[in-house]
Structure 1
């Protein structure tokens, strides 16, 4: 499983051993696993251990499975390790739980525990630094717009709401703790639950770019040492209908540009029904993979995302067909201590981007000569292009139609390009980033129906 996610190696037959992820997110747990059934989180697999013991000491043997994959990511030279938190440790929360039980949209963190929470996070970062597992980024709040309010026994996971004022308080404390401990980890925030909360809506946790990142924002972050001008948000629930998909992302890009911040899409999977695009019932693996690629394309080309991250690689106990969320579908045994897994087309669809669009590359503006509107393009052929310099050019092309399509790239301002190779993901068995032979670029490039194709030019 780690090889499939992280490897950049090529097998002897030219196929890829993995999708070469360049980022891996590690959840710092709140301690609901230690609480057992009294945690109130109904699914024991959604409870998470905490490194901090009730007596204030630390147990670094906790979260063993999480740590195993973190080390594997490091072994495979994954460029960015990101630590994120859903809830502060339960000993710091107002109700002693890893989620809210009151719908007041206020943080579950006790008012006098902000510094303790920040010190805890700094201690975790410092420990892993000492283990040569450096977190490039630390995300102290997650989806602050959701109230995460449930009665005990009904909670689905750890979580806490945060107002913009509370986010400012928490991030300021974390910045100070990182500085005090001479740590270099950067802070990633605010992980908005929907993209439109970054620029609009009218709640205590809305207009987050203007409030947190603008020079005249009410809770401006400008003087914090560890906070880059990056705003993070999640693409959930803004994918239903092509007009909505496009307009939300255009508004976000315009607002981010106005206030000089870079946007990261830091969490998405097909949680709602937008991916069905008006159809009823289940959709095929390839339908899901194509829709995943479509959202990635629009986040990159319309919202101008500088990073893109998926939730989640896998999750136990789900029917094999329900693969819209995951890269690998788990089939656990009776006691959930072993089992099997199957690879979904989502893995390879993400790989069409992650394996070829690498950190440091820049996206190129592309134009087309077919006269289609952006809404029409979203049901036709979608194109994104990236460069690592004048001698490196990559295009990812989604053919959303049922017909074979042809494209003829008109490449300018690059050294003469003579050849290309394609890597195709389609519904066909074996079309999992399937490589083509090196081909002379002397005409149109053919795209299979309902496929995602990465084109590497030489």
Structure 2
């Protein structure tokens, strides 16, 4: 590849406006993108179908199709605006059967109960989870590359207490003598979906094993100690191998990143998981061939301050590179729960605006650049709740209702729509005289190279309430024209296409905005591509 450096710029204050320099006349710091310095390969961006898809998937058209289009589509409308955010990963919840139990399940909210494909007599009913299956089919039709089946609790007819939640102890609600039955259940489910042309790429058999998951949690859940996981995984691997299934196991879905890194006082039996599950011990889970070389963890409890957000992700990234270089890190679940970002954001209260969107975009940036995550996955794709947990919100009605799009949906789309599976994150750094954005208020800028399409994508996040001007210098690419996509607080400006990027001008990021720049040539290539087939692992 011929080395080529070019200054590229345009104003992104709005489509069709001319570029301007900042007050210094210099156009802000020069950011250098070096395509020759490459880091992790991106596997995708996703969200889960829990729990609303079981109802919304049975809504009449066109409401459910509109939601599927917003989540999965890679098409463009006549103006050139993306019709959706093009998720490349979809998480399908394999339910435990609390829905069939109804109020007797102990889970008060019907929207948090889940059906099970098997009953207590061992009979299978593949018509269950129909709403979720509708969204799974829609995801495949739109070309979503990867499906992760995940489990919150073993089926209720296998658990110790006959419920989809435990007794409050640290130990699993599944007795060891039931491990084979659980493994057979999961293998049969995976086999059915593979045989019917909707295969799961990954199976996540446990979720946040650190929590006690008693009745008070109000949802399906099951704790697991590290010792129990080391005993369960080989049994699962054997069940999958006996059926010749290609699905890979992904674990441990740790509740906090700290549970991977060290022994914690509150969860001594299920923490320090990088060492306890993936280390050198003879019963480490990676010795089971079905286990993918992935460590999956959730971002909760680490975002109360910007310093804590960055420090623990930097520590995780360094730890993985130094002691576990074969492992890939997935940030496999996040939503805004408690306090986040110096207490300015809290989980309660639906907010469709820019503040949570920009906060989450910055968090994605840190997960990708500091922890070198290869995948980033949001929690609820669809939420009926008055909470900061959804990408799309809906009326709480099983029959149908209104659909409400959040700015957070489009913020994730700045990554998911354009940073496709197979992209390599590449180096980008400001000029030496500029302050390090990691130690300031940003802007937060990351860059990606797609070898297949020979295209470059740059994502910039401006959380300031004033415009920020930057100039990009690209090393290692032929000179090409870039397209721009902008999201601001304006209700209609969501991945809004802007003017082409021409050499010679600074770029002005509007206040409180996200901007993605894509090589125009590569964009035409993407538009011509058919929906991808199922990807082999």
- Secondary structure of the residue aligned to 1:310 is strand
- Structure richer in strand, relative to its length: 2
What is the aligned counterpart of 2:82 among 2, 5, 16?
Answer: 16
1:405 partnered with 2:468: yes
Relative distance call for 1:354 and 1:386 in structure 2 (3 A) is same
Contact kept in structure 2, 1:188 and 1:231, CA below 8 Å = yes
Residue 401 (structure 1) shift: 0.8
Residue 143 (structure 1) shift: 0.4
Contact kept in structure 2, 1:211 and 1:218, CA below 8 Å = no
* Alpha-carbon distance in 2 for matches of 1:217, 1:435: 52
* Alpha-carbon distance in 1 for matches of 2:114, 2:341: 30
* Alpha-carbon distance in 2 for matches of 1:332, 1:108: 31
- Secondary structure of the residue aligned to 2:381 is coil
Single out whichever of 438-447 and 75-84 deviates more from structure 2.
438-447
* Alpha-carbon distance in 2 for matches of 1:191, 1:253: 17
1:50 partnered with 2:116: yes
Question: In the TM superposition, what are the counterparts of 1:116-131 in structure 2 within 5 Å?
Answer: 116-131=181-196
What is the aligned counterpart of 2:134 among 61, 68, 77?
Answer: 68
Matched with 1:372 is 435
Matched with 2:505 is 443
1:92-130 residue CA offsets vs partner (Å, 9 max, x unmatched): 1111100012x3211111220001101100000000001
1:52-78 residue CA offsets vs partner (Å, 9 max, x unmatched): 111112110111101110011111110
* Alpha-carbon distance in 2 for matches of 1:231, 1:183: 21
- Secondary structure of the residue aligned to 1:266 is strand
Matched with 1:340 is 402
Contact kept in structure 2, 1:15 and 1:433, CA below 8 Å = yes
RMSD: 1.7
- Secondary structure of the residue aligned to 1:303 is coil
* Alpha-carbon distance in 1 for matches of 2:372, 2:360: 17
Tell me how many residue pairs correspond in the alignment. Answer: 445
Residue 437 (structure 1) shift: 2.3
Contact kept in structure 1, 2:459 and 2:516, CA below 8 Å = yes
* Alpha-carbon distance in 2 for matches of 1:140, 1:50: 15
Residue 267 (structure 1) shift: 0.3
Relative distance call for 1:247 and 1:308 in structure 2 (3 A) is same
Matched with 1:27 is 93
Give the TM-score taking structure 1 as reference length: 0.94
Contact kept in structure 1, 2:357 and 2:407, CA below 8 Å = yes
Relative distance call for 1:341 and 1:276 in structure 2 (3 A) is farther
- Misfit runs of 4+, over 6 Å: 279-284
1:219-239 residue CA offsets vs partner (Å, 9 max, x unmatched): 412321111211000011111
* Alpha-carbon distance in 1 for matches of 2:376, 2:162: 34
Matched with 1:93 is 159
Segments of structure 2 that go 5 or more residues without pairing to the other structure are 1-66, 521-537
Give the TM-score taking structure 2 as reference length: 0.80
Matched with 2:20 is none
- Secondary structure of the residue aligned to 1:311 is strand
Higher RCO (CA-CA < 8 Å; seq separation 6+)? 2
Contact kept in structure 1, 2:358 and 2:463, CA below 8 Å = yes
1:391 partnered with 2:459: no
